[in-house]
Structure 1
Amino acid sequence: MASSVPEWIDRDFCERLVERIQEGSELISWVAEPLAVSGDNYSSILYRVSLRTSTNTFSLVVKSLPQGSMMREYMLSDGIFSKEVELYQKVFPAMYSFYVDHGGNISYFCPQSYPSPISDTVVLQDLQPLGYTLRSRQEQFNMDHSAFAMKTLALFHGLSVGLHSRNSKLVECYKENIYTTRKKEVMRDYTNLMLMDLASEVETWIGFERFGNKIRDYSKTVLDTWINIYEQVDGFFLVLNHGDFWTSNMLFRYSDSGKIEDLKLIDFQYSKYAPAVLDILYLLYSSVQESVRKECIDELLGEYLAVLRETLDIVGCSERLPSLKRLKKEMRDKMDLVAMVALTILPAMVANEEEMANFGTLADEASSLGGVQNPIQKSIKGNRFRQILPSILIDLERDGIL
């Protein structure tokens, strides 16, 4: 076994896993290896576990807590891993069954989940052998990929509305997010440091010098503003959000000719019952090419609404369908989410290997260096981020956010 695979992924773990997946089978052999490089996953660590049994072979992805003390404690204290396990094991099957019971026929929108032998781990079907692949984090979506993502998101949102109509408590219980009043003090130092460093960087960009002070001014009330994104939801079209809907949480499968055949969603740790437009804005400003976002927005929203309408019709909730006009208004009302994504998360999303942030070991590094450290200090100087951010800053200025 490679030294980077934890000791708890051993033969005993694999044998207990086999018992849960295929009762009566005997484990013959197993192999485990790290699945992602440092920087690709900030709130978890992934391993591929290949099992050969007396009756079959399985390739699985095992997701565990991050190594860094701050992120590990954060994930444990908020029950984020247990929440994701519950979503995979209880909520998503209920969403799917409700849809099928009403005559719907769809492929599952996420990988199959299996019961884990130990707590605080998620065990999923490995989609790679089935032809699913991740796209480059730095390569933003063209129209085809953007439209497919929008349609898959609409299906997911619509299924959650259907389940909500049957069992509202099962959906509404997911109300926590990274920015809440309860976590305000924890987030303050890191958020302020990231924005101050970004302001200093942006004001060196020719033609964008004014945004340095705009970002500094915005930082004065930013935590209350970002908390309100999630806590002020009256009057909005509410769904179970994915919560982190960007390139690296989608796996595409293509035909031999390169046509998109299917899309699976992964990483639901930050799912929340909240306005649907939060997922839409997150996608548009983290993962969609600027030209597509600006020139094809009505077409993309039309694709979303068409699938949403079909899904809501099937589950008997057509009266909840929002209009295009309402959807656009709600997007304008929640543009502060774009600032949150662009100013604190996007640098890490589009960083290359040398620029990658490492949120997973954040507290350990801060302690060794004698104070709070900016996890995106390298990322904000990245070339790709420098290419993408300017047009977003213009949008935020236009809409009165900055």
Structure 2
Amino acid sequence: TLLASVNLNAELEDGDTQNLSYMIKLPIDAVQGFLAKDHNIFDTENAIYKDVIPEIEQMYRDAGVDLKFGTKYYDLKTPSEFGVVLMEDLRPHGFKNVNRIEGFDMEHTKAALKKLAQWHAASAVRVETKGQYPKIVSDGVYTEDFLKLMEEKGESSTALYMECVRTYKDHEEYYDSLKRNQENFADEFRPLLKIDPNEFNVLNHGDFWANNVMFQYDDAGKVKETYFVDFQMTHYGSPIFDLYTLLLSSTSLDVKLKHFDYFIKYYHDNLIE
């Protein structure tokens, strides 16, 4: 999708002016050709901002806890077949992404995991008390049709992927195993589509990595707030999907290697709290 910044200088009724900053997401051709047609990810994200997030935040308020999970959302009606997503820009409020190349340190990892555990816990309670979420947010894009498309595009996507791998230093050690993994992506991923109703399941963010977590800081430079962005890939299933995605993709190498088991326990402790 295309994410664009919209900055307005508005004149108010009293003659004063006010600067307003928004972020708008638009579908690109590739999305219109597949994802938005078969599973409209813009409908998914609009439903998350309009219905799911307010419901979860209200659940916490009812329990005496004031929590926010995302930015302010505007229900924008457009003539677009696929729609758009209009949100308040978090950057003027001091929110930032961590450098995705450097990865999360201990503080940022714990902040992200705590908020993730709170999201997962509330979604599980919601399903237990009110029933399953609507399909537009619970099914996600990870379907059998999606995997078949990946298989159809397998040869070309593998070639591009391996071309990128060759740009990394010492790639030779991992080249063959990465190639096999890419070629067998659909077969490896297919078991994850099956939801065991006897296991603990949650509404996963679905794309929970560094670029989709934003942090706000206090005067001392410590994390004081954590918000999630980009809710187009949500799906219901095992929480391990979000948990492993973050820990494997977005933590710095030394933090990942030294504290992996601790992070699993930290997530679980916050989940059951």
User: What TM bracket, shorter-length normalisation?
Assistant: 0.7 to 0.9
CA 1:74 to 1:49, structure 2 compared with 1: closer, same or farther past 3 Å? farther
1:71 alignment partner, one of 22, 28, 31: 31
Superposed CA deviations along residues 241-283 of structure 1, whole A, max 9, x for unmatched, are: 1111111111111112211111111110001111101101100
Task: Tell me which of the two structures has the higher relative contact order, counting C-alpha pairs closer than 8 angstroms and 6 or more residues apart.
Answer: 2
User: Helix, strand or coil for the counterpart of 2:137?
Assistant: coil
Structure 2 distance, partners of 1:136, 1:203, is 23
Do the aligned partners of 2:26 and 2:85 also contact (CA within 8 Å) in 1?
no
1:47 and 2:5 correspond:
yes
Query: What runs of 5+ residues in structure 1 fail to find an aligned partner?
Result: 1-42, 311-402
Normalised TM-score (structure 2): 0.85
Larger radius of gyration: 1
1:136 alignment partner, one of 86, 90, 99: 99
Normalised TM-score (structure 1): 0.60
CA 1:219 to 1:142, structure 2 compared with 1: closer, same or farther past 3 Å? closer
1:161 deviates by: 1.4
When the two chains are superposed, the root-mean-square deviation of aligned CA atoms in Å is 2.7
Query: What runs of 5+ residues in structure 2 fail to find an aligned partner?
Result: none
User: Helix, strand or coil for the counterpart of 1:174?
Assistant: helix
Deviates more, 1:257-266 or 1:229-238: 229-238
Structure 1 distance, partners of 2:138, 2:187, is 17
Superposed CA deviations along residues 161-209 of structure 1, whole A, max 9, x for unmatched, are: 1211222222665343444211233222444333345446757978764
User: Helix, strand or coil for the counterpart of 2:133?
Assistant: helix
Superposed CA deviations along residues 324-376 of structure 1, whole A, max 9, x for unmatched, are: xxxxxxxxxxxxxxxxxxxxxxxxxxxxxxxxxxxxxxxxxxxxxxxxxxxxx
Do the aligned partners of 2:42 and 2:232 also contact (CA within 8 Å) in 1?
yes
CA 1:50 to 1:191, structure 2 compared with 1: closer, same or farther past 3 Å? farther
Superposed CA deviations along residues 26-54 of structure 1, whole A, max 9, x for unmatched, are: xxxxxxxxxxxxxxxxx232222335232
Do the aligned partners of 1:179 and 1:223 also contact (CA within 8 Å) in 2?
no
- Counterpart mapping for 1:42-121 below 5 A: 43-50=1-8, 52=10, 53-54=12-13, 57=18, 59-67=20-28, 69-77=29-37, 78-101=39-62, 103-118=63-78, 120-121=83-84
Counterpart residue identity of residue 87, structure 2: L
1:219 deviates by: 4.4
CA 1:112 to 1:58, structure 2 compared with 1: closer, same or farther past 3 Å? farther
Structure 2 distance, partners of 1:208, 1:234, is 41
1:86 deviates by: 0.9
CA 1:285 to 1:192, structure 2 compared with 1: closer, same or farther past 3 Å? farther
Structure 2 distance, partners of 1:201, 1:246, is 20
